[in-house]
Structure 1
């Protein structure tokens, strides 16, 4: 017999704290360890034949109507459940009694039974588990609470498991003190189950997802975390497959610790600064050197994951510069180079590269023999380091990124030259994917190219045209170029790591190209990058010596290391 003395009455006629000595005989209770509706306790309520009593808040509530005495409603076609423990899983009678989990016979087979409630609290479904681990449900399982949800009120921490036995296992090791529930139908439907009960789940300060440690379970945990308030979800890491295996192995302390040590889920891309020591502690290295010393002293070479834009007026020499860069990386340094020239044939691109080795323009009338051409071919295209894109006069912009990705993933390409952006964008506009809006097309394309660089670690050179100048001189007449002159969209300048402009006065036959760095994210150095002189006899671009500048010869500085 337990005796208690209470001093403060409650006005509610049905629920009151008695101000008299009241004797309770726990042996005569019809149900024990029930959640109390009047306080946060999850297991202090007992039900007797004519009243309930909470051993936590000391609230006595009379039962006067049939509805008060009647057990929770059950849908038709549900079977009787023998509520008792699962010995081979080390789950006690007490835990199964609290969660109303037990045993029964269905269709001639002995099954374990998890009972599910509707959103109004009525038992409407039973989930059967056979000895062969086959699962099926009886009743209406379409809009049920999470398993065990009716036992808890929103509070500090909620543990969600992938299966009912895992929930029972955690309840066992926590002595039923911490709220724990299970999703209703396995990992594949985890997000759906949580969405149906999102108000309940969001009522907790922290949600620990203790799903199975296989790929399906961990993927489901991450998917569930995505629909919860940022910062609320944590994912527990277990030594064994699930909570049940941990309990059976006697790893009680480890299972409990896994909940308290669960890692907060951060959105992809959010990284704590203390985790990037390896990134910031590496020795700074110059990239692969360009053919010209001024370019190296300004840009410090070319590096993986960089996107460099080369821009100039029409016919100024952008393609010639690209060819020199391709030759430098593919022949001089032996790197794999992808060359996508969208306004010329692969034959013309090949002749550009071969002309550098031959020492004269092969695409113009000349006295070159077959042996001369073969020698130039073997020195350039014949190395196997160059991969060209034969577009057959048709530009399918939706597939270009896929083709570039193939170059990198399957062919080992490290450098890609895309000449030029305007044709690619015009193809996108023609496909009506951006409503014929050139600016949107450029925004979309540059975003895709930027993402491609980051994803594949490739170094990408993109040729871009300039918008038509309003001055009489124009860019083809040597007008100075600014970032605002880039055609169509500022996304070109915003997403590029470096922007290099080229200008020359074509009207007077000037063959000297003035090169300027307009943006340099890596080093911050902008301005003059020297002068390149075009030799019409050799077809080569050579750097005009700067007699007043430094004497850097284009080689990697001795205190740095080439990547």
Structure 2
């Protein structure tokens, strides 16, 4: 009876060898080729097995291994069912006779700190005809000899034939299984000398792997036994800042896996080196101090610093009612601003930008719809305020707002190193080195210490970075914005249009991918009020991830709009905003008046004396 291909066998072997696989059609791709392991460059996903035909192939030209799954299983010791009595024929049946421990083995192991008692307890010997080759017998938990490993001790033989080799066709299991008692803790090392070292120091249940740090097929044959242990401590070799065996055992075993701490290696490579240099207690300390390997992106809740949310740094919006609801724009947040076309989202955005500038934060604006001079003109008018704006009339007798040159100069000086704008003209260049918008934002954050990014709007921003799947690209774009916000502790305000044009806007109405509102922290909706109810527009909080506070229906924030200055202010307040440039001017005038008064008093005192 021959072997019948089973997808379950392919998947099981994949789990044993790698575990990190992905399926594309009928092809199962391994993260790394089991033969070449991706080469020096660690190339990924170059090896696949066809789930229908069983053929495998490595696409790396320097490897190029190919064949049938049966051969793959043979090469890596995976047991297949070829019919009756197959399991009995798969592995060589070793003679179960008493092993004579020879003196050369005892003497050589003494040079590594292993006593004669431990050597004899584990039946370590040498070949009868070649005393320079150590013999390590592997007994299972039932004291049955199933695997044999050899180690050359003569330097010339190591140079010619390698250091270690195994008895052909024997079942790979763990060395030391027959000395394990109970199932509380199992300590696994890479080499047999290391597990003997642990036994020498009194560490219970110390074992070592059969074929080095890259062979894990032994798990197939001891799975029921090893998974009975409450925990495993990995005491592999410490090489290049990593501990061998750890990653694979952590990924494959469904039980708690601990690792010896890097600092407990005391600068040495393995357990035997530690023992020979620092003694027994160093080994015991290393095992006892072993820690659970943390799951990536998971930490103890108790390790999280307690934070007063109200004390977190943030940018105030300048709209008191909004700040009372959302607390302000917290650093690390992405804010989505939506509203119908032409109703003032860009105006509100530029004013929010000015508020950040007034608090001393550098800002960056991307406008895909307005020319840079248009953006600047509106922001200058908002910064100036209605009391500092002149109104003239054009040839069509339409009012035109303008700012006196001296005031405009002061406004420009005020935000010189705080206000930046993305140069849309660069999009007309044919340069092949054009950076993506996200790259430009990140570079600007790093170079200019930007703390607020205003993107107007999502649709035009996506035009600047086209993708194959537009909705997926939108979702990824917002995801990357969130990563930038968290990474650099900045605020991002993103404008997006709604789908609907008449009814009240909800989170589900934002145009584009429905995933957008899921990724942001705050959703604001701005709209004009067409009922002429004493205010010009309303602002609604549709989502507020930090505090959960929203604006109930009918209790939206009421706002007034000034066509002269383009400013938006709360309808509940009649106070006009005085920005930093004007405040500075007023303070200078006040100081000048104080100086005049002071000098006048001095003059009067002087004339009295005369």
**CA deviation profile, 1:255-294 (whole Å, cap 9, x unmatched):** 3354344333342333333333x32578744633112212
Q: What is the distance in 2 between the residues matched to 1:415 and 1:183?
A: 58
Question: Which residue in 1 is equivalent to 2:566?
Answer: 539
Question: Residue 265 of structure 1 aligns with which residue?
Answer: 293
1:336 to 2:333 alignment:
no
d(CA) in 1 for partners of 2:442, 2:245 = 29
| Match for residue 284 of structure 2 among 256, 267, 271 | 256
Inter-CA distance 398–253: structure 2 relative to 1 (3 Å threshold): farther
Structure 1 residues 538, 366: CA separation in 2 closer, same or farther (over 3 Å shift)? Answer: closer
Gaps of 5+ in 2: 1-92, 392-398, 580-610
- Tell me the residue number matched to 2:449: 412
Aligned mate of 1:480, from 501, 504, 523: 504
Q: State whether residues 127 and 138 of structure 1, in contact with CA within 8 Å, keep that contact through their aligned partners in structure 2.
A: yes
User: Conserved in 1, the CA contact under 8 Å of 2:190 and 2:244?
Assistant: no
SS state at 1:533 partner: strand
Q: Distance in 2 between matches of 1:389 and 1:114?
A: 73
Which residue of structure 2 lines up, in the alignment, with residue 51 of structure 1? none
Q: Distance in 2 between matches of 1:327 and 1:143?
A: 76
Question: How far has the Cα of 1:321 moved from its partner?
Answer: 1.6
Aligned to 2:427: 392
1:228 shift after superposition? 2.6
Query: Aligned with 1:517: secondary structure?
Result: strand
Per the alignment, do residues 203 and 411 of structure 1 end up closer, same or farther by CA in structure 2, a change over 3 Å counting?
farther
SS of equivalent residue, structure 2 residue 560: strand
- Secondary structure in 1 aligned to 2:427? coil
Distance 1:361 1:421 in 2: 35
- CA change 1:531–1:257 in 2 (3 A) is same
Report whether the alignment pairs 1:377 with 2:404.
Answer: no
- Structure 2 counterpart of 1:321: 348
The separation in 2 between residues aligned to 1:402 and 1:420, in whole angstroms, is 17
Please say which of residues 496-505 and 417-426 is displaced more in the overlay.
417-426
- 1:368/1:333 Cα in 2 relative to 1: closer, same or farther (>3 Å)? closer
Question: Are residues 540 and 118 of structure 1, via their aligned partners in 2, closer, same or farther at CA, if it must alter by over 3 Å?
Answer: farther
Question: Paired residue for 1:459?
Answer: 491
Distance 1:213 1:139, change over 3 A: closer
- For the Cα contact (< 8 Å) 2:234–2:258, is it kept in 1? yes
Secondary structure at 1:494's aligned position in 2? helix
Tell me, what secondary structure is at the counterpart of 1:225?
A: helix
Is 2:242 the partner of 1:217? yes
Distance 1:281 1:373, change over 3 A: closer
Question: Does 2:199 align with 1:171?
Answer: yes
Tell me, in whole angstroms, the C-alpha distance in 2 between the residues paired with 1:461 and 1:283.
21
1:308 aligned residue = 335
Question: Does the 8 Å contact 2:401/2:565 carry over to 1?
Answer: no
Q: 1:370 to 1:287 in 2, by over 3 A?
A: closer
How far does residue 234 in structure 1 lie from its aligned partner after superposition? 1.6
Q: Which stretches in structure 1 are left out of the alignment for 5+ residues?
A: 1-65, 73-79, 555-563
Check the 8 A contact 2:176/2:208 in 1, yes or no: yes
Alpha-carbon contact 2:106-2:115 (below 8 Å) kept: no
Count, aligned residues:
455
**TM-score, normalising length: structure 2:** 0.60
User: Quick one: structure 1 residues 542 and 209, their matched pair in 2 at CA, closer, same or farther if it must change by over 3 Å?
Assistant: same
Matches within 5 A, 1:122-521: 126=150, 136-138=163-165, 145=172, 148=175, 151=178, 155-174=183-202, 177-182=204-209, 184-186=211-213, 189=214, 199=223, 201-212=226-237, 216-218=241-243, 221-222=246-247, 224-229=249-254, 231-237=255-261, 239=264, 240=266, 241=268, 242-276=270-304, 278-280=305-307, 284-285=311-312, 287-329=314-356, 331-346=357-372, 348-357=374-383, 375-380=410-415, 382-384=416-418, 386=420, 388=422, 390=424, 392=427, 399-409=436-446, 411-425=448-462, 430-432=466-468, 434=469, 438=471, 440-469=472-501, 474=502, 479-505=503-529, 512-521=536-545
Give the structure-1-normalised TM-score: 0.64
Q: Deviations over 1:23-70 (max 9, x none)?
A: xxxxxxxxxxxxxxxxxxxxxxxxxxxxxxxxxxxxxxxxxxx96466
